[in-house]
A and B are shown apart, each in its own frame.
Chain A
Amino acid sequence: MPSRILRKRKLIPGMTSELVIEAPHIAAKALPGNFVILRVWEDGERIPLTIADADKETGTITLVYLVMGKTTAHLETLDAGDDILDLCGPLGRATEIHKVDGPVICVGGGTGIAAMHHIAKGHHMAGNLVVTIIGARCEDLLLFRDELCSFCPEVLIATNDGSCGRQGLVTDLLVEMLENDKTVAEVVAVGPVPMMRAVAEATRPFGVKTTVSLNSIMVDGIGMCGACRVSVGGETRFACVDGPEFDGHAVDFGELGARLTAFKDQERLSYEEFKSHGCNCSK
């Protein structure tokens, strides 16, 4: 059964949008760390998107996406009142959240900030002190600042061009924090693979538990194909059912980064076709 889009908010015009979708049976179960698989149209592919927020009361979930290829571009053509053909979830293991003694630092980069937001909120609800660090190329590309500020005492910002917060990388801010505060209980990182890898390398010398949410290629999202397999501590794991969160110090980021390029030629072809002909579904 299709799922209705109730609201759409363009976070970064032409690039990133937020959808609030009516999906009571998913909202009832969705926890931080969970994701959904969706399909936009009849001949569409299945893509995973992290649940950025869920509201049991209103029966809605929030998804945030970056337009980076055919399917997300197609999704961007939809508006409030339109339907998403297939929406399946909540999938994946939820984030392990316990009350801990020291602060939890949640690091988000790019669209990953939206996914990180749900995890940070979960830690906050569990009574943990949450500090968030968010980064982007420039100020205009920062997401979810107001949402994070609504419950985080501290939201630190790093931009590559210095247009907001510190000029530099999120890891610069992270290392400073770890040097100043030896009680940090856990670091969570969600973002592009190079960012998560850099965070894991930054925390390794401090011996701080580091959780990353991996974004491997998925097809079914329910453990039946292994497209999303990653090497963690030398063992093959399926991100969709064993993860998507893993110990950042044990993940083979090199392999993950390579596997994400598996279909790059086909992805380009599909996107080019879409840009020149529009959607090939009959409207």
Chain B
Amino acid sequence: MAATAPSKKAKAPRTAMPEQDPKVRARNFEEVALGYTAEMALAEAGRCLQCKKPACRKGCPVEIDIPGFIKQITAGDLDEAYAVLRQTNSLPAVCGRVCPQETQCEGSCIVGKKGEPVAIGRLERFVADTHLAKTACETVTGGPACSMPRDDLKVACIGSGPASLTCAGYLAARGIPVTVFEALHEVGGVLVYGIPEFRLPKAVVRQEVEAMKALGVEFKTNWVGGKTITVPELLESGYSAVFIGVGAGLPRFLGVPGENLIGVFSANEYLTRVNLGRAYKFPATDTPTFPAKHVVVFGGGNVAMDAARTAMRLGADKVSLAYRRTEHEMPCRREELHHAKEEGLDILCLNAPVEFIGDETGRLKQIVLQRMELGEPDESGRCSPVACQGDTCTLEADMAIVAVGTGANPLISQTTPGLETYRRGYIVADPATGETSIPNVFAGGDIVTGAATVISAMGAGRRAAKAIADRLLGGAATDMPPDNAAEDSADA
């Protein structure tokens, strides 16, 4: 062992992130992770080796120049660090918080091969937060407001989640006017209705959106794509291109008896009530949810973790998570699982629901669970759960939250003749450009891939925006110095 030890000086350990105490935070909606101080950020930035061919950048779906922005932190120029981030990422304060860095940039970091990787996400967040405390538009554009030199062109983005916001931000930075149509009353998609305040404060999303408004992006809320306005109508009314980024928001249910009892919620409903409706402040706010003693959440993804941790904060005595497989197969971020366990989440692995039982008023009172065991791997490579016949148990529970995935909402495809879709209504789009079967109509994010991550949706939004800008501006699109320069250095 000693003989193979690295000859370089021992690496400093990864700088820890201050967090709220688990006992305290399990009862409030304040952000769990508190962010680096300037000293912590400087110490952590010093751990970066400044690789010539940075593997971390390849691991980032929007290819942030990671060594570039970290170098600026070390040099003490945070404005420049933010400018580097914003070259490729419209929402750095969001991504620094919610990306699964362990499988992306940090998962590819060389320092991580022999120790802990550089905390790229935490540094990104530090830079963005520090910067957003000042103004956003100025650093990106060098001016307080952006001109839209190409007012002969305009692009519509349907939906205002991460994919559309990224697409809109990229196009606006290239002088193309963009209108974003959002169905709900608040902009941000899953960032505002799905991811809870304690993981992503809404003020952070709002600040990022304000920065985009300063870039000249127009937002129309309460406009439902496919209802209030359709894709053909947008093209007819003079939009040169349309980007569809409406996500995969249609909740799946389990299809077991009793699922329509009072107290059984989709995770989407529960989280929308609490996050978008701010039901955690009820009755100061008007959207209700009701208190429950024992909450059981079904699923093993980030949405299940968010729902479970939300239920704890709303005062449940006990929150259990039932999952068909084992903890090892859970698709959620490890950090979320770790946080949820610290906060007291009870995990029931290898259990699947078979029936919800109600009282005479139609309210949930019990859940019957079926014990499972792991069988052979299925086509996804994961072991498929198999029921242990006759082995069931009954739990007392007054709330159940179903977080077993979502599907494609058909409102757009139903009202867009000629738009090609595949299995379960997802939109067919060219992987390189995002263009759909209709010329000048692009799509990206969950409505193409099915439910995935915030950052992969942003990657798709960025690819589509590049393709749209290339088409609308011709050679002009490649004249943008910052982005182009960054890419040249990556290829070098």
Mark A residues whose CB is within 8 Å of B: 1, 25-26, 29, 39, 43-46, 70-71, 85-91, 219-220, 222-227, 229-231, 236, 241, 255, 258-259, 261-263, 265-267, 269-270, 273, 280
* Interface pair B286/A70, CB less than 8 Å apart: yes
Closest A residue, CB atoms, query B287? A45
* Interface pair A225/B268, CB less than 8 Å apart: yes
* Interface pair B260/A229, CB less than 8 Å apart: yes
* A60: min CB distance to chain B, Å: 16
* Interface pair A88/B222, CB less than 8 Å apart: yes
Contacts of B277 in A (CB 8 A): 45-46, 219
Instruction: Taking A29-B227, A45-B286, A224-B249 as given, write out 12 further A-B residue pairs in contact, using a Cβ cutoff of 8 Å, ordered by the A residue number.
Output: A45-B288, A46-B287, A89-B227, A90-B227, A219-B273, A222-B409, A227-B269, A236-B259, A236-B260, A258-B361, A262-B262, A263-B288
- Expressed in whole angstroms, the Cα–Cα distance for A25 and B233 within the complex equals 12
* Interface pair A219/B250, CB less than 8 Å apart: no
- Expressed in whole angstroms, the Cα–Cα distance for A267 and B277 within the complex equals 15
- Expressed in whole angstroms, the Cα–Cα distance for A230 and B288 within the complex equals 20
* A216: min CB distance to chain B, Å: 10
Enumerate 21 A-B pairs (CB-CB under 8 Å) in ascending A order: A25-B228, A43-B278, A44-B285, A46-B185, A46-B277, A88-B184, A88-B223, A88-B224, A219-B272, A219-B277, A222-B411, A226-B251, A230-B260, A236-B259, A258-B361, A262-B263, A262-B290, A266-B283, A270-B283, A273-B283, A280-B284
- Expressed in whole angstroms, the Cα–Cα distance for A261 and B290 within the complex equals 12
Contacts of B409 in A (CB 8 A): 222-224
* Interface pair B260/A231, CB less than 8 Å apart: yes
* Interface pair A270/B262, CB less than 8 Å apart: no
* Interface pair B185/A39, CB less than 8 Å apart: yes
- Expressed in whole angstroms, the Cα–Cα distance for A29 and B223 within the complex equals 12
* Interface pair A226/B268, CB less than 8 Å apart: yes
Closest 6 CB pairs of A and B: A258-B362, A266-B288, A225-B269, A224-B249, A45-B286, A88-B222
- Residue of B223, B283, B411 near A269 (CB, 8 A) is B283
Contacts of A231 in B (CB 8 A): 260
- Expressed in whole angstroms, the Cα–Cα distance for A46 and B272 within the complex equals 11
* Interface pair B361/A261, CB less than 8 Å apart: yes
- Residue of A46, A90, A261, A273 near B228 (CB, 8 A) is A90
Cβ of B341 under 8 Å from chain A: no
* Interface pair A43/B262, CB less than 8 Å apart: no
- Expressed in whole angstroms, the Cα–Cα distance for A219 and B183 within the complex equals 12
- Expressed in whole angstroms, the Cα–Cα distance for A89 and B223 within the complex equals 7
Known: A90-B228, A263-B288. A225 touches B283 (CB 8 A): no
Interface centre among A26, A86, A223, A267 (most CB of B within 10 A): A223
- Expressed in whole angstroms, the Cα–Cα distance for A208 and B152 within the complex equals 56
* Interface pair A89/B361, CB less than 8 Å apart: no
Q: Name B230-270 residues within 8 Å CB distance of A.
A: 249-251, 253, 259-260, 262-263, 265-266, 268-269
Contacts of B410 in A (CB 8 A): 223, 241
- Expressed in whole angstroms, the Cα–Cα distance for A58 and B66 within the complex equals 55
- Residue of B193, B222, B260, B288 near A86 (CB, 8 A) is B222
Known: A25-B228, A263-B290. A225 touches B251 (CB 8 A): yes
- Expressed in whole angstroms, the Cα–Cα distance for A231 and B220 within the complex equals 34
- Expressed in whole angstroms, the Cα–Cα distance for A46 and B286 within the complex equals 9
- Expressed in whole angstroms, the Cα–Cα distance for A193 and B285 within the complex equals 28
* Interface pair A270/B362, CB less than 8 Å apart: no
- Expressed in whole angstroms, the Cα–Cα distance for A255 and B257 within the complex equals 13
* Interface pair B224/A89, CB less than 8 Å apart: yes
* A86: min CB distance to chain B, Å: 4
* Interface pair A71/B269, CB less than 8 Å apart: no
Contacts of B382 in A (CB 8 A): none
* Interface pair A270/B266, CB less than 8 Å apart: no
Contacts of B222 in A (CB 8 A): 1, 86-88
Known: A91-B227, A270-B283. A225 touches B183 (CB 8 A): no
